[in-house]
Amino acid sequence: MAAFFQQIVAGLATGAIYASLALALVLIHRATGVINFAQGEMAMFTTYIAWTLTANHGFSYWPAFAVTLLFAFALGLGLQRIVIRPIERGPILTTVIVTIGLVLIFNGAAGWIWSAEVRAFPSPFPNDTWNIGGVAISVQDVGTFGVVVVLVLLLAAFFRFTKIGLALRASALNPEASRLVGVRVGWMLGIGWGLAAVLGAVAGMLAAPTIFLDPNLMQAILIYSFAAAVLGGIDSPLGAVAGGLLLGVGLNLIGAYVDFVGADLRLPVALLIILVVLLVRPAGLFGKPVTRRV
Amino acid sequence: MSLPTLRRGELVRVALFLLAAAAVLLLPRLISDFRAQQYAYVGIYLIALLGLNVLTGFTGQISLGHGAFMAIGGYTTAILISDSDPALKIGSHVFSNDLKDLWTIPLAGLVAGLAGFLFGFPALRLTGLYLALATFAVAVATPAVIKKFEAFTGGGGGIQLFGLEGLTATPKTDPITFESTEGVTILGFEITTFNDWLYYLSWAIAIVMFAVAWALLRGRMGRAFRAVRDSELAAASSGVNLARYKTLAFGISAFYAGVAGSLLAIATTFVNPDTFPITLSIFLLVGVVVGGLGSLWPLVLGAVFIQFLPLWAQQLNGPLPDSLGPLSVPNFQAPGAPAVVYGVILILVMLALPGGAAGLVRRAQSLATRGYDRVR
């Protein structure tokens, strides 16, 4: 039984990482109806920034963390303003292809600048375990989970209690009306992209200590996050978090107890989840079903 | 069934096509053996691009996972060739081990096509973004599935075809000239090098499949595809059976991809999960976009582009200039430059020239005629 709970705790930690990236995807999809395929690669790239700050420029962990978040915000904002804005109203295919272009650019650039070598990434948490009632809980996992919880709470507060948060929600809900009451919708979308990039950066920096840093760091995590976002409902922030945690725990348990799946077939399982949810309940667990007027 | 009559203007196209086909088949006499190999790959990519464009360009269904269908084709061929005993048998007919690779090509296409057709059913309920998402996940998950079914696929180690009896020709490099030797005589023609053989094989198939794609798309089916792309609602209300045409588009498209994958396996005489990475799927999309969504001729350009750009971009490989300041950690064998160039071009094309090369040609034409449909 202890092993079972151990799997759940470990699953919650990886699930928190999926939740963070899934939240980034949802944030952008809610505001602009775009799925950013480059979300994972942006996260990977910003994680490299954190790595180079600590490894080559003498930063200690938390200052590097903070600087990286600032960088990520600027990156997201800049991308939205420069690359995404011109094609915002274009067909879906165009936006998909442009974000795929970003995938190639960030993946290639990371390899170009920092080489494809696998790097060790520092962790702010001690490599200890706590023993609670026979269940060994790694401090790393608890820290990962804690950081994401704090981040989500901060974000929720930001959206709920600040004026910019209100403007962000308004411009996602009804851009035209928001424009009429003086909200600068364009910049709000930019800020949304910036916040999404910040969420991604956090996911990357939390994932890198355990699975090591290389240019393909986020490829699988992105798929899990897609699955999480779809599972929770692609327009529901709460759903993204719940979906991420559910998926993290679920995949961990399936990997541990279903021999056929093991460690190798987790990606196909995520794919299966995406397909089944989209076919059976496209709105996800927490989303509102979309009705289309014909 | 009588042959459909050609419309005015189409005669010219057919003539041009035949001229181009003749030119393509004469090309190996003018280029080096090494180039012949590179252009053979262009032919293979062209087949895959034709297939992807049927689905994405003409029917409007995004696929970010066409590499997966190529993998199905490639593995079908590899498994059939490597399993030399018993010989390939269909119905009561037993194919000899000679030329066995050739017989596996249409089979690979059919297996992939069936997979595509079946994938078309769940895809019916996925529109736009969701389809992109699902196909992307398919592409990422493919290598894991291949590795899992090791008994069939050889797992991560892949399947080695080099030197097997089933291959019509085997590459062998002359130690002095570095030209590929070991030719083959087929239908009375003597082809002296392996690379030339590869070239003729892939381009002969590419030319036929190009013509088939054109013939399929010019008529009723092509109209139905385009109607589905432009407005599903309008298409359905004018009597186009959405389910039938979408699954059909998936099937045809995957058939093309399967043939291309099969040829890729024959060309490299080796398949493993890394033969069909997610980047392959993405590069196919790049090729279609550069050529032009919903075009046929310009796809040749797209295929040339995805074959030669990496080679060209490799020359960029090297340390980034120091002027990048804190970002630059010098390193001398960094990969990644081709991907960056691809990405930048992809975005620039989408921003500035959404029609790709085809759009450029159209624009030039309408500027020249200064008449109708100038504003497209």
pLDDT tens readout for residues A170-180: 888 888 888 89
Mean pLDDT value of segment A28-36: 86
Bridge partners, residue B173, by sequence:
B180
Q: Give B357→chain A minimum CA distance, Å.
A: 16
Yes or no, beta carbons of A100 and B126 under 8 Å apart: no
Q: Got the DSSP string for B25-89?
A: HHGGGTS-HHHHHHHHHHHHHHHHHHHHIIIIIIT----S-HHHHHHHHHHHHHHHHH--SSPPE
Can you tell me the distance from the alpha carbon of B61 to that of B55, in angstroms, rounded to the nearest whole number?
Answer: 6
Q: A124, A63 in Cβ contact below 8 A?
A: no
Cβ–Cβ of A104/B340 closer than 8 Å?
yes
Give the closest of B144, B233, B344 to A267, CB-based. Answer: B144
Q: CA of A178 to nearest chain B CA: how many angstroms apart? A: 26
List the single residue in B326, B344, B350 with the smallest CB-CB distance to A105.
B344
Our CA-based measurement puts residue A87 at a distance from the nearest CA of chain B, in whole angstroms, of 7
Shortest distance between the Cα of B317 and any Cα of chain A, in A, equals 8
Q: Which residue has the tokens 């930019």?
A: A190
- Global pTM reads 0.85
pLDDT digits 0-9 by tens, A202-261: 999 999 998 889 888 888 899 999 999 999 988 888 999 999 999 999 998 888 888 777
Three-state SS for B300? Answer: helix
d(CA B232, CA B226): 10
Task: Report how far residue B66's alpha carbon sits from residue A133's, in angstroms, rounded to the nearest whole number.
Answer: 50
* B80: nearest Cα among B201, B161, B140, B168: B161
Average pLDDT, chain A: 88
What pLDDT shows up at residue B86? 56
Please state whether beta strands A129-132 and B159-160 pair in parallel, antiparallel, or not at all (unpaired).
unpaired
**Distance from the Cα of residue B44 to its chain's centroid:** 6
Closest among B257, B118, B67, B148 to A275, alpha carbons compared: B118
Tens of pLDDT, residue by residue, chain B (376 residues)? 445 666 767 788 888 888 888 887 877 777 777 788 889 999 999 999 999 999 998 998 989 989 999 999 999 988 888 876 555 566 666 666 555 678 888 999 999 999 999 998 888 888 778 888 889 888 888 888 888 887 777 777 778 777 676 677 666 655 555 555 566 666 656 666 778 888 888 999 999 999 999 999 988 899 999 999 888 889 888 888 988 999 999 999 999 999 999 999 988 888 888 888 888 898 898 899 888 888 888 899 999 988 887 777 666 555 444 334 334 333 334 467 777 888 888 888 888 877 777 777 777 777 777 655 544 4
A118-166 pLDDT, tens digit per residue, is: 888 988 888 888 887 777 888 888 899 999 999 999 999 998 899 989 9
Model pLDDT, residue A149: 92
Nearest CA in chain B to A95: B350
Contacts of residue A103 in chain B, CB cutoff 8 Å? 282, 343
* Residue B178 to residue B279: CA distance in whole angstroms: 30
Residues of B in contact with A92 (CB under 8 A): 62, 128-129, 132
Task: Name the residue facing B282 among A87, A100, A111 (closest C-beta).
Answer: A100
Tokens of A14: 């990886």
Q: Cβ contact (<8 Å) for A278 and B134? A: yes
Task: Write the CA distances from B96 to A79, A293, B167, B259, integer angstroms.
Answer: 58, 59, 11, 21
Name residues 44-103 of chain A within 8 A of B (Cβ). Answer: 52, 56-57, 83, 86-87, 90, 92-94, 96-98, 100-103
A52 vs chain B: nearest CA distance in angstroms?
8
Contact flag A92-B132 (C-beta cutoff 8 Å):
yes
